[in-house]
Structure 1
Amino acid sequence: MTPAVFALAMMLQQDAGLRGAQLDEADSSIEAGLVDAALVEPTRNGFDGFRSQPLIVVNGAMMQQAERTVADEALGNARSAQNNPMANEMTAALDRSVTRGLAALAAKQNPDGSWGEIQFGRSVAVTALACLALMADGNTPGRGVYGEQVSKGLEYVLRNTTESGLVATDSANSPMYGHGFATLFLGEVYGMTQGGGDTDLADRTHRALVKAVRLIETSQNREGGWRYNPVPFDADTSVTICQIMALRSARNAGLEVSKDVVDKAVEYVRSCQNVDGGFRYQFSMGPSSWPRSAAGIASLQYAGIYEDRAIDAGIGYVVGSAMPGANMGESQIHYFYGHYYAVQAMFLQGGRPWERWWPAIRSELLGRQRADGSWNDDSAGDDYGTAMALIVLQMPKRYLPIFQK
């Protein structure tokens, strides 16, 4: 067993013990099916000790089976998609599809390093997502088949980081969306490459990441959420999940992140869950929708909550509303946005939800790929659709630290 895997096993063993103790304390008399913020004391993984901790990055797809077994034993054989990959998660057809998609996406990069089209031309959000799609294949700045494209994308994002910490182009509308995705990208880059490679680039990435995180912390509103602009007024679930993922990525990469900020964000997300298990757009009353519900589930998971009735109810709602291949009309609304979060939620949940969801969304996305290797999104453009599809389809590779439970 390698030292890194031994350290990982010890960390997982400690975490499994903590989680077991917390579950033992849960109130066993809670009525099934109810959704309320006070139902179950949330099981946390990592955010209780939220100050910076050493990061061990393990590219799960490359981990030898013997090493995976050590980690599984340390968890007490707990079942999750990450720790126990299913047979045939990756197929030859999927490999061919991803290879074509990556080539198509890389070819669309603009000379200045950006991606994006239609109203999202040269968008930091689309650029960040495109780079994450390339990194999901193992490419990092300057390394890998598409390392040059990731480097150029990173430089574009860094050039659009303002002194205040906001990552946005001058023409950006609703800049906190783009800021959240860009901060997530910076966190993943820094988490995967710190301590090696271009030290000047690593230093600049770190400085931008620190400023971006501080901006997120200071722009949280009193309810615990975020909205379109970097000011602490108003909030919605869509923008809030972007910031929670960004904070999680930064924390994984070793940055200090305020636990109070995360706790308030969790309270806000919980307050937006309806009795049907789905999540609404804002704190005030409103209908559930499956894309927001997938985002709501993922936000709780990225806050370190994995065992919770709110998550179970949310997954039930998403499966019942947008199961791939079931020809549900609602499932086409905000298609790529919804599936970007849904596949993460199912992956992090593991077990039966992942076993059902993954083959279905894999088959559906392979069928939607165009002859040139891209995926179409009528509202946000092909660059966005292709990046989102590739992130979804490469979940089983387990390269990005944010997807490692």
Structure 2
Amino acid sequence: MALGALFGPKFTKYGRRKTMLYSLAVLMVLCLLSAVGLHLADIVVLRFLVGVFCGFFCSLVPIYISEVSPADKRGKYGILHQLFLTFGILLSSLIAVPLPAAYPIDNVYSEAPMFVSVYWRVNMAACVLPCVIAFLLLWLCFDYETPFYYYDKGQQEDVKKLLALNYCRPNVEKEYADLVNAVKMNENLAAKKVGLLDGLRSASFRTVILVAIAINISQQLTGINIFMTSSNALFVSAGLSGVWPTIVTVLMNALNSLMTFAPVYLIEKKGRKWLLVAGSIGIIVSVLPATVLFWLLGTEHKASQILAIAGSLLFICFFAATFGGVVWVYTFEIFPDELRMSCAGACVSINWLTGIVLVFVAQYVGIRTNFTIFTVLNILVLAFCVLCIKETKGLPLGKSPYIKEAETPAAKI
């Protein structure tokens, strides 16, 4: 997924919508082939390609949403991307529930029963359905590109028609002027085709790129993927047994999905920075009590285990209501127009790669060490959000709070 996200935005020059349609078509084929694969090597390669194109598609969706959304609703619509991601995770966990019950992990090397031999293929094929729905919606209902794409192609009338459609009123001269100004601010940048490395060498662009990278790394430093991917092992080490680890994991996924509704209503009222700071404080409050008790009473004490489970569920609530969706919105808002295409995908890749590294490392340390490390990291994330994050609420897309209008960044590269 990280590899696909790195290259996804590079294909937006062919059209945001068109690129998403092609990637969905490829995903449908790959998912079907995965479901009927006969050899392990074939399935591994196919699932790798599914991950690449899934990351490719997921890096395009926030770009499309951010460019077609009205400025005063961009955050709200951007959160919907994360909302449906969490809903998909919840559905996948529910679909997979029968597998461990029918084929326990300690019997993995024995012959699988007929139900398992068929049902895992159903799991693979289930991915086709959301791809088909998304493809049909894009093809039949959202049959237009974005205002920025039309402007780049010199189709000014299409820009005004789409802005009028998005804002539900015929007079969109102010919005059109904002879009033109945002693009003109970056004409030098577009001409020089500044990428990630060139941007880092520019004094004007270095700050916005580093902030975008840092906020994406911070999302993973909260510990979200440790709690989500290792939840069963976490709950077993916290004292749960039998089917309870699986039940609590499903509950965690349900909370993750439900709490993502919160920023849909809060992001345009409170702003991005307020949510990130509030989320950091909430996450620290969630994990700190269990961390303290782990050191005072040990990991085997009942009070420590109860607080660890309760803290994990509370952590998910705060994360889903803040960092889960806000980081994706913020990443695609703070970049100038052309820099956004070259850098946003790289930030998403860095985000996922950070998660992979943390999950790999965390499995070799105990629950007490994990809670301690992520408590400290979340305190650092809070300090970063307070000191370095600037508000983007209400700003036209393409106008970065980290770049002054008077600057001509491309000239300084």
Q: Quick check: which one's helix share is greater? A: 2
Return the TM-score normalized by structure 1: 0.24
The structure with more radius of gyration: 2
Return the TM-score normalized by structure 2: 0.24
Structure of greater relative contact order (alpha carbons < 8 Å, 6+ residues apart): 2
